[in-house]
Structure 1
Amino acid sequence: MGYSLALALFLFISFTFLQEISLQYSQEAPNNTPTPSPSPSSPPVSTPMVPALFVIGDSSVDCGNNNFLGTLARADRLPYGRDFDTHQPTGRFCNGRIPVDYLALYLGLPFVPSYLGQNGSVEDMVHGVNYASAGAGIIFSSGSELGQHISITQQIQQVTDTIQQFILSMGEDAAADLISDSLFYISIGSNDYIHYYLRNVSSVQSLYLPWSFNQFLAQCMVQEIKNLYNLNVRKVVVMGLAPIGCAPYYLWQYESENGECIEMINDLILEFNFVMRYVVEELNQELHGANIIFCDALEGSMDIIQNFDRYGFNVTTDACCGLGKYNGWIMCISPSMACSNASNHIWWDQFHPTDAVNKILADNVWSSKHTEMCYPMSLKDMLAQQME
């Protein structure tokens, strides 16, 4: 079945699904405004390693911003969140925690609230804010067929607005110190392939060969990182892209016979990550006082896929929740579509990994616990080096 027919069916099911959500909100919340999803605050340690964690990205790290947008890219209903701390959907595209939840714990911070889900007080934002939006890309229009989303440029504008609030509350010097001492985590780019290049929107494939497209995206990322640097951001984790060629959606669409990953897609991702690792090295030399690490999610994920038994997984190709071959045809929209145990699955839905995979990747970002995937060093080593 072609992409257009699958998308049409997906849109029909999702539209019906969103109508039910809208009715639920109109009955439960005044003015049809979504109520903030529960997000527990883990007790921070006495001295956090950084004062705050700020998150920029897409559905890989969205913790609830899209709950407040008119979009089909939503994760605000079970079975999403069923294995989360509250056992309730929060807007995270996972059965449980996303990588930045685990990193917050390692840093000694509470879970970071979504930008649209908090009330805008400095007290809510002083330990960090999550600006990530499912469907967002580096290119503004990537993912636009799903509805509203907050692009990376818009997210950085929200960072600017947050800093302005800090300045008004605590003064310019204190706000500058807070931002320069805090950690910024960026995880975005997959939608520029999923919803733009691979769909050949505006005949982009005839205008840009893969190498040129990857270079274009990387240079856009360089400019966004420089924009953050100009806001006094100094500590940054830049996540590379995951092997979406192994995602159940593409195994289904490309009719993978035995669950083999789609190498053509993974080659695109491999090349983009290679370019990003190189430009991050250049930025560290160019931007005085900057400490930027690049973490290759493809490298870390392929280690999990190839050594699945070592990590306790026995379902490597099928999503825990979905329909069709590999459960890759339709996204997860009902608890009845989900497997009973997600912990032995690598994939939660069409595109997103399970909590168990997120934990492994977060361990690697933090300390290279399972495999080295961060360059020039792990986050823990980067922070320790700055404290010397």
Structure 2
Amino acid sequence: MVTSLLVIAIFFIISSHSKALRFPQELYNLSLNEIFIVDSPSGPPSTSASPTPLLSPTTPAVSSPLVPALFIIGDSTVDCGNNNFLGTFARADHPPYGRDFDTHQPTGRFCNGRIPVDYLALHLGLPIVPSYLGQEGELKDMLHGINYASAAAGIIFSSGSELGQHISFTHQIQQFADTYQQFVLSMGEDVTIDFISSSVLYISIGTNDYIHYYLRNVSNVQNLYLPWGFNQFLASTMRQEIKNLYNMNVRRLVVMGLPPIGCAPYYLWRYKSNSGECIEEINNMIMEFNFVMRYMTEELLHELPDARIIFCDVFQGSMDIIQNHKRYGFNATTDACCGLGKYKGWIMCMSGEMACPNASNHIWWDQFHPTDAVNAILADNVWSSRHTEMCYPMNLEKIVVDKPE
């Protein structure tokens, strides 16, 4: 890991500039049913930072969104550019990242194209959600949602800290709370409650608590916690934060489980997998965590009145893709599309010369992250269980389309 970081340091100059949302300086006419924005005669303020690129104009838009907004909390699985504004090694703001995105430019997404929440936004009839950092802070820029996710973040505050700055899980929830207060000040409390409770909040975090904490045995954690105890600790932290979100009137919540990182190219290389066999001891921890999280979700459904929480087992959905890769059109199941070393898992993706010509037949894009094609499949499963059922007790479509009983 140290070797990888030294190599990365040669290639990158890290910027430590960050920029958070500013309070909108506009006048608003608001009602419980509609939100009208009266633009300031002086026009929007200028900014030195460019917003995260959105979909190209040719992308079809749904005229009637199913929910008001999509809010996203998480790590590199859903970071859409927040880490571009932080001093960190965990950045994807350089080619070939984003080469198959709508703009064909790197956006900060750890993928060759779209991440799962990009596809889910389209299912919901929303535009792609912008990053929290780098926006101008106008209300109209937040009305379809905000993405707070930060690569290297974990449920534990210090997870991933060796890579530099990141926005921790707790801090992301505080940012959401700040956004909530901006809505209250701009729109009124009643409108905000209706707006937030009708929207969807998506959480995808926890992988870095294994990659950058437990598996590295930081602070001798493995002697303090067996995997089961560590999983219980993570789940209890997640449980409390979900309750905090519920107290901010979040009612529609998607909690994502963890993927099979024991099959990731980095661990195939590090554990010297002979023929691409997944590292069973790592995957067993992940399956156990997902089991605990699913049980915790079921408990919260009984505990929190009118909450509609679903747990989506990404391990289950991903293993279906790996085991049935031919049916899905993948022929490269172990090697990353971009990287160096065996399974291209030794060094992360840093230049276009390190990437394969066609990522669509690969399951893995880099050391840890899946390709756009895999993200599309997983998003379809979250939305409608199209390929395999991986969300419990129901999929997202049922939450937003069906009326509560």
TM-score interval (norm. to shorter): over 0.9
Distance in 2, matches of 1:36 and 1:386, equals 36
RMSD: 1.5
- Say if 2:389 is the partner of 1:375: no
- Say if 2:260 is the partner of 1:266: no
SS of residue matched to 2:363: coil
- Say if 2:62 is the partner of 1:68: no
> Which of 285, 299, 302 is 2:302 aligned to?
285
- State the AA in 2 paired with 1:131: Y
In structure 2, list runs of 5 or more residues that go unmatched.
Answer: 17-46
- Say if 2:116 is the partner of 1:99: yes
Q: Is the 8 A contact 2:338 2:344 kept in 1?
A: yes
> Which of 186, 193, 199 is 1:169 aligned to?
186
Q: Is the 8 A contact 2:51 2:130 kept in 1?
A: no
> Which of 239, 243, 249 is 2:256 aligned to?
239
Equivalences, count: 373
Distance in 2, matches of 1:259 and 1:224, equals 37
Q: Is the 8 A contact 2:52 2:131 kept in 1?
A: no
- State the AA in 1 paired with 2:206: G
**Which residue of the partner structure matches residue 11 of structure 2?**
17
Distance in 1, matches of 2:195 and 2:303, equals 22
> Which of 50, 57, 76 is 1:35 aligned to?
50
- State the AA in 2 paired with 1:329: W
> Which of 159, 165, 168 is 1:151 aligned to?
168
Q: Is the 8 A contact 1:321 1:349 kept in 2?
A: yes
Q: Is the 8 A contact 1:43 1:109 kept in 2?
A: no
Distance in 2, matches of 1:387 and 1:109, equals 22
In structure 1, list runs of 5 or more residues that go unmatched.
Answer: 1-6, 24-31
Q: Is the 8 A contact 1:242 1:301 kept in 2?
A: yes
SS of residue matched to 1:101: helix
Per the normalisation by structure 2, the TM-score is 0.90
Structure 2 matches for 1:66-145, cutoff 5 A?
A: 66-145=83-162
Residue 35 of structure 1, CA deviation: 3.5
Q: Is the 8 A contact 1:39 1:90 kept in 2?
A: no
- Say if 2:194 is the partner of 1:194: no
Q: Is the 8 A contact 1:34 1:67 kept in 2?
A: no
Structure 2 matches for 1:220-231, cutoff 5 A?
A: 220-231=237-248
- State the AA in 2 paired with 1:269: I
Residue 36 of structure 1, CA deviation: 3.2
Q: Is the 8 A contact 2:198 2:251 kept in 1?
A: yes
> Which of 377, 388, 391 is 1:360 aligned to?
377
Distance in 2, matches of 1:174 and 1:219, equals 32
Residue 269 of structure 1, CA deviation: 0.3
- Say if 2:177 is the partner of 1:183: no
Per the normalisation by structure 1, the TM-score is 0.94
Residue 382 of structure 1, CA deviation: 1.9
- Say if 2:225 is the partner of 1:208: yes
306-315 vs 42-51, greater mean Cα deviation: 42-51
- State the AA in 2 paired with 1:38: P
Task: Give deviations 1:318-337, integer Å, cap 9, x for gaps.
Answer: 00000000000000001000
